Amino acid sequence: MKPVLFFFLITLFSSVLYAQSARDVSGVVLDSTGTSVIAATVKLTSSGDTLFTRTDIDGKYAFKNVRSSQFLISVSSLGYKSFNQRFLFPEGTTPLKLKVITLKTQSNLLNEVLVSGALPITVKEDTIEYRASDFPVRENSVVEDVLKKLPGIEVDKDGNVTTQGKSVTRVRVNGKDFFDGDLKTATRNLPAEIIENIQLVDDYGDQANASGIRTGDPDKILNITISPSKNKGVIANGVAGGGNDSRYIASGMGRIMNNDEQVSFMFNLNNTNANLFDFAGGGNQRGGRFRGAGGGRGGNSGGITNTQAGGFDYRKDLSKKITVFGSYRVSASNNNAITDRISETITGGREILTIQNSRSERDNVNQGLNLNLEYKIDSLNFLKIAPSLNLSSSKSDNLSARQITELVRQNQNTISSSDASSPAFGADILYNKRFLKPGRNFSLNYSFNKSYNQNDQNVADAFEFYDTGGIFVADSASNRLIYTDNERFNNELNVTYSEPLGVYSRLDFSYALSRSEYDNSRITNLEGAGGYLRSDSLSNVFDYSFTTNRFGLSYRYDRDKLYNFSIGLAAQPTSLKGYSETNNVRAGKDGFNFFPSVRFSYNFAKTVSLRINYSGASSEPSFEQIQPVVDLSNPQSPVIGNPNLKSSLNQSLNIEYNNTSAETGSYFSAGLRGNLVSDRIINNTIRVRQPVIKGSDTTYNLIQERRFLNEDGYYTSNGYYRWSKPFKDRKYRLQLGGSVNYTNDISYVDNEKNIGKNWTFSQMARIQINPNENIDITPGVNYRYGFVNYSLPNSIDAKNSTVSLDLNAKIYFLKTWIIGFDGSKNINSGFGRVNTNPLVINSYLEKQLFNRKGGLRLQGYDLLNQAAGVTFSQGDNGYSSSNTNLLTRYFLLTFSYRFNKFAGRTQNNDSRGGGERREGGFRPGGGGPPGGRGF
């Protein structure tokens, strides 16, 4: 009954607050000289009104009994450009006196209409740009709230951002990394009112941006441009609170901006499983909208985590030519986790069932320092130097009990501890030179990274063996001290040169050298009668290197704002060499790959584009895959490398189509992706049965070795679409999306090839309901169905599905009160032994204080105490599922405060709830309707 009552209350609040009262609307129309415009036609349209009038001799106009508080004003008069503007006011605000409307002289531009309320989305070659002012959010909202309104962009419960089926990996502010590009740090803390544009960029790297030569598959980057009028001022917000079970949070963020100089800082102390740089004011509260975990999804990560984190970010233009920026961050965390795992495979007609229970405690300390120096030497030469330093250390204690059953049963109890450190430093240097001849360009990019990994482990295993009747036969024990000391040095050099052949075409020459050197030492000491002694068979001192040289030549044709394409060829010889000092064994393999590259982009219009990209690259084996000795970190699952492995060749094809209608505000995106891997490095699982004899009793110890080999036949394909359309003057927005994925997976079991044909289908629907300033409701549903078939007989083929239902609501009432609700329900089917369908409900009640700059909030998480950290994976002829403890039901009382001041003005919050708000924010110096905090 409680969930039903909650949904009923939300519906009741919505009905009451949606009831609208009539109001009077008036204003004045002037020209650019301040003279009144007489007899101008003024039209007011909304979901409930279509009204006309004309201005009087003083340019004044008025409408009576306007039912809606959100409407569009259109003004037209002979000899002037037409004017269109949407206005948003809180319900109950009356009368409404609009700001002066100024008409501009037409100046022979017939048919031109200024539509500031239209959807301004511009699609460029590698960029989709949204004008933030046309996606209104409440006062004190943050960037994430704006992202949730942008068509084609999806923000999940954990704050992760995806677009066109790909994850957004980094964020920049005014083109510069913000806190090392950490996405959630920016999206959950920067206020929405400072944004001018939001750009989604296909980023090929700094060198590609400078030279125009793009290779490989790009990353999705979010770039936030700050309005020049808001680039000088102060941003500050903080939250502190506590709850039952000793839960607490204290966090804050500040940013001082002085045009060409900005400095930011932030800190976070909590034991509510909030992410390191998540200053949302609670375990899963996100940017003004409450978020919670459901069924193992969302920000409620596995285990219970206590976190302390902080950092600062700085940028300054030292002169017109030199800019410096960088950041420092530090975090410390303690995590305690309890995990139950079940895995089931069938090999040679026999089922192997593994049940494991484990407990772990882990302490981590991480520090990072990143600097950037940009030097615009002159109009033709540019230099960028970016050094970095990272220090990390961890200590962990683990306890696990594993039961493995085939024809017989065996138990393995493991106690282990480790003490590790991983310092690393490096730098990236970019030089670009443009020549006086247009189109001629030279660039050089060199980067290096030196890293160390030192890890001391103490591992103790106890084994018990049983016969087919379940009778105990024998036991054994193994105690090991493992000392790992690995070094890695990576160098990369990229050189490009472009020579123009005409106005639009040019030849691009490229050369890339990549060399990775590894110096690995792994020493294992076994406990025996005389104490711990080195075991040469389990130890390995192994050095190896992987070198590639890539030569490329391509032809590029670029018609700016219309279309461009490039077609070329690349040759890439590879060399893999290694030497085991322990065994006096050398390993090496040379290869040569040759493949074409194709890029095509066509802009049908400013908001319609088609892009096609084909590329290829080689990838190296890992140390684990190539080491020529046995890794017995887990005696029941040893890893045996293959020093004769070849590098893999990855070929990818991406096709993307984007179409946005400025008239209707609808958005459509569709794409196809394919990936083919030659000489893919795959697993070969080998079962070894070692006899165990005690007296007259005999059983065996089942060992599953993991080996590696190269194999062709692996490929993936993906098709997706996204569609979005607003209705009723953008008070409602419907979003649909779906995808089809197929993977032709290759693995080996006991040296037998096994092909897994894996299909996944998904479909989602979501609607944003925002009928007025006081209601924000977003229900959604997602359906996913998958199945996999294996070629080996007696395999575990699987069919599974998940229906996810969620509802997020935020309702304002009595001017300064807010109620928030977040509910999610998962319905799972076909997940083996997993049978959990949690209903997770979170809610909060907030009282706004100090003219809505502050707030006192009581929030409850997982009210029904059903959250479950369940994961499920299918692969290698079986499945694996796990359940990890989560931070479940608790309550938190927090106080938060936000302060913004830009260009000498302090954020104004009109306590009467009146004042005009246009799309994108409040007018400078004007009042604002009751708004949510951005915490």
Per-residue pLDDT of 426-449, as tens digits, reads 999 999 999 998 889 999 999 999
Q: Rounded to whole angstroms, how far apart are CA atoms 756 and 752?
A: 13
Q: Are strands 166-173 and 219-226 parallel, antiparallel or unpaired?
A: parallel
pLDDT exceeds 90 at position 457:
yes
CATH of the domain at 88: 2.60.40.1120
Q: In sequence order, what are the beta bridge partners of 605? A: 608
The confidence score (pLDDT) of residue 7 equals: 42
Cα–Cα distance, 673 to 614 (Å, whole number): 10
Phi, psi of 146, deg, nearest 5: -70, -45
pLDDT band at 876 (very low <50, low <70, confident <90, very high): low
For the cut 80, the answer to whether the pLDDT of residue 771 exceeds it is: yes
Cis peptide leading into residue 95 (ω within 30°)? yes
Asked whether the predicted pLDDT for residue 905 surpasses 60, the reply is no
Q: Which two tokens stand for residue 770?
A: 């925002």
Q: Could you give the C-alpha distances from 328 to 365, 370, 426, 794, in angstroms and in order?
A: 14, 7, 15, 55
Q: How far apart are CA 344 and CA 321, in angstroms?
A: 62
CA distance 377 to 500: 23
Residue 107 has pLDDT above 60, yes or no: no
Give the number of other Cβ atoms within 10 Å of residue 348's Cβ: 11
Nearest to 265 by CA among 298, 229, 297, 310: 310
Q: Per-residue pLDDT tens for 860-874?
A: 999 999 887 877 777
Distance CA 928, CA 908 (A): 7
Beta bridge partners of 824: 806, 840
Q: For residue 522, give the nearest of 460, 582, 479 by alpha carbon.
A: 582
- Give percent of the chain above pLDDT 70: 87
Cβ contacts of 34 within 8 Å, gap of 6 or more: none
The H or E element that residue 319 is part of is: none
Q: Do residues 344 and 353 touch, judged by C-beta distance below 8 A? A: yes
CA 422 to chain centre: 25
pLDDT at 657 over 70: yes
Which pair of tokens denotes residue 578? 């290694």
Instruction: Name the residue with tokens 């506590």.
Output: 242
- Residue pair 130/141 in contact (Cβ under 8 Å)? The answer is no
Whether residue 838 is contained in a domain is answered as no
For CA atoms 53, 56, 58, 62, give the dihedral sign. negative
Are 42 and 84 contacting, i.e. CB atoms less than 8 angstroms apart?
no
Residues 6+ apart with CB under 8 A from 373: 322, 323, 324, 384, 385, 386
Other residues' Cβ atoms within 10 Å of the Cβ of residue 78 = 8
Q: How many residues does the chain have?
A: 935
Domain count, the chain: 1
pLDDT of residue 834: 62
For 3-20, how does the pLDDT look when each residue is reduced to its tens digit (9 = 90+)? 444 443 444 444 444 444
Distance (Å, whole) CA 86 – CA 920: 11
Residue 20 belongs to a domain? yes
Higher confidence at residue 15 or residue 727? 727
Question: How far is residue 121's CA from residue 134's CA, in Å, rounded to a whole number?
Answer: 10
Range of weakest confidence among 148-152, 295-299, 516-520, 833-837: 295-299
pLDDT above 60: residue 168: yes
pLDDT at 462: 94
Distance CA 916, CA 892 (A): 35
Q: How far apart are CA 904 and CA 902, in angstroms?
A: 5
The Cα angle at residue 165 between residues 767 and 204, in degrees rounded to 5 = 135
Lowest mean pLDDT among 199-203, 521-525, 559-563: 559-563
The reported pTM is 0.75
What is the model's pLDDT at position 485? 93
Q: Does residue 835 have a pLDDT over 70?
A: no
Cα 673–chain centre separation: 19
Say how far residue 93 (Cα) sits from the centre of its chain.
Answer: 40
Residue 212 burial (CB count, 10 A): 19
Segment among 262-271, 416-425, 868-877 with least mean pLDDT: 868-877
- Does 356 score more than 60 pLDDT? yes
CB 844 within 8 A of CB 861: no
Q: For residue 633, with 0-12 CB atoms within 10 Å meaning exposed, 13-18 middle and 19 or more buried, which class applies?
A: middle
Q: Does residue 624 have a pLDDT over 80? A: no
Q: Which residue has the tokens 């799309």?
A: 919
State the pLDDT at residue 738. Answer: 93
Residue type, position 195, single letter: I
DSSP letters for 508-528: EEEEEEEEEEEEEEEEEEEEE
CA dist., res. 461 & res. 340, Å (int): 19
Cβ atoms of 479 and 457 within 8 Å: the answer is no
CA distances from 351 to 341, 688, 753, 794, 866 (A): 16, 15, 18, 9, 32
Quote the pLDDT of residue 832.
66
Whether residue 244 is predicted with pLDDT greater than 70 in this model: the reply is: yes
pLDDT at 388 > cutoff 90? yes
> How many distinct helices (H) and strands (E) make up the chain?
5, 56
What letter does residue 629 receive in the DSSP assignment? S
pLDDT at 604: 76
338 pLDDT band, cuts 50/70/90, is very high
Contacts of 758 (CB under 8 A, 6+ apart): 741, 742, 743, 744, 745, 786, 787, 788, 874
* 80-89, 398-407, 623-632, 635-644: the lowest-pLDDT one: 623-632
Whether residue 120 is predicted with pLDDT greater than 60 in this model: the reply is no
The pLDDT of residue 382: 94
Host H or E run for residue 814:
none
CA atoms within 13 A on the CB side of 138: 25
CB 23 within 8 A of CB 44: no
On whether residue 526 sits in a domain, the answer given is: no
Q: Helix %, strand %, coil % for the chain, to 5?
A: 5, 65, 30
pLDDT computed for residue 568 by the predictor: 92
- SS3 readout for 153-216: EEECCCCCEEECCEEEEEEEECCEECCCCCHHHHHCCCEHHHEEEEEEEEECCHHHHHHCCCCC
- Kindly calculate the radius of gyration of the chain based on its CA atoms and give it in whole angstroms: 31
Residues 792-806 have pLDDT tens digits of: 877 777 788 899 999
The whole-angstrom separation of Cα 464 and Cα 476 is 7
Strands (E) in 770-865, as ranges, are 775-790, 798-813, 817-829, 839-849, 854-861
CA atoms within 13 A on the CB side of 207: 24
pLDDT top residue among 69 and 628: 69
Please tell me the distance from the alpha carbon of residue 563 to that of residue 546, in angstroms, as a whole number.
38
Sort 110 into a burial class: Cβ within 10 Å, 0-12 / 13-18 / 19+.
Answer: exposed
Query: For residue 715, which amino acid is it?
Result: Y
Q: Which residues contact 213 (CB under 8 A, 6 or more apart)?
A: 207, 443, 496, 498, 508, 510, 554, 556
Q: Is pLDDT above 70 for 300?
A: no
Residue 150 has pLDDT above 60, yes or no: yes
Per the CB < 8 A criterion, the answer to whether 329 and 307 are in contact is no
| Position 918 pLDDT exceeds 80 | no
Given this model, what pLDDT does residue 676 score? 94
Quote the pLDDT of residue 934.
29
Confidence of residue 928 (pLDDT cuts 50, 70, 90): very low
**pLDDT band at 93, cuts 50/70/90?**
low
| Predicted local confidence at residue 88, as pLDDT | 81
The percentage of residues in the chain with a pLDDT greater than 90, rounded to a whole number, is 33
Does residue 260 fall inside a structural domain? no
Full residue range of the structural domain in which residue 14 is found: 2-115
Q: Is residue 67 part of a domain?
A: yes
SS3 730: coil
CA distance 148 to 161: 9
- For residues 285, 287, 289, 293, the Cα torsion angle rounded to the nearest 10 degrees is -30
Report how far residue 17's alpha carbon sits from residue 277's, in angstroms, rounded to the nearest whole number. 36
Q: Is the dihedral of CA 213, 218, 219, 221 positive or negative?
A: positive
- Round to whole Å and give the CA distance between 110 and 552: 51
316 falls within a domain: no
CA proximity to 9, closest of 811, 883, 737, 826: 811
pLDDT at position 525 is: 92
| Most confident among 485-494, 618-627, 872-881, 895-904 (mean pLDDT) | 485-494
Q: Position of tokens 């030089």? A: 431
- For residues 347 and 66, the model is more confident at 66
Residue 685, amino acid: T
* DSSP 8-state symbol, 647: P
Least-confidence region, from 762-776, 860-874, 887-901, 903-917: 903-917
Between residues 393 and 602, the one the model is more confident about? 393
State how far the Cα of 643 lies from the Cα of 709, in Å rounded to an integer: 10
Q: What are phi and psi of 416, to 5 degrees?
A: -145, 155
Distance between CA atoms of residues 120 and 663, nearest Å: 9
Least confident of 267-276, 396-405, 783-792: 267-276
Mean pLDDT value across the chain: 81
